[in-house]
Amino acid sequence: MTAGLVAALVVACAVVAVGVFGATWRRDVSAAVATIPVMFAGACLAFVGVARFAAAGGTHLLGQEFAVLLVVAAVALVALGLGIAGREGNR
């Protein structure tokens, strides 16, 4: 058994699509905000897969670096979205 770049990209695409589906299908805005990290997870997996399998010589870790920045941005987006929802939910 082995796994390559195509397997990583297919899983990443599926995760992004599930995130897009949740963000558009949910009637609750807060629940839709919670699906944003799911989309980011798919993007992270794609970046890490490219850094692992398609790095042209040497240790090119830019994909891993971008994945780290993406997950931090996902946490910030969820905090901001839920904070705004908490503020608006009382009006």
Partner 1 sequence: MDSLHATGFYVSSGVLLIGALAVALLPGREQRGAGLLAVGLGLAGACYSLSAGFAGAVAFVCYAGCAVMVAGPRYRSIAGTAGVAWRQAGALGAALVLAVLVYSSWRGNFVSAPFKGGPFNAVALGRLLFAHDVVATEAIALFGLLAIVGAAAGWRFRERTR
Segment 72-91, which members bind partner 1 (CB under 8 A)? 72-80, 82-90
Total residues interacting with partner 1, rule: CB under 8 A: 76
Give CA–CA dist 51/26, Å, rounded. Answer: 33
Return the closest-CA partner of residue 54 out of 20, 4, 88.
4
**Min. distance of Cβ 25 from partner 1 in angstroms?**
5
Q: How far apart are CA 33 and CA 7, in angstroms?
A: 28
- What is the separation of C-alpha 53 from the centre of its chain, rounded to a whole number of angstroms? 19
Give the shortest CB-43-to-partner 1 separation in angstroms.
11
For partner 1, what does the binding mask look like between residues 2 and 31, x meaning CB under 8 A?
xxxxxxxxxx-xxxxxxxxxxxxxxxxxxx
Is 43 an interacting residue with respect to partner 1 (CB under 8 A)? no
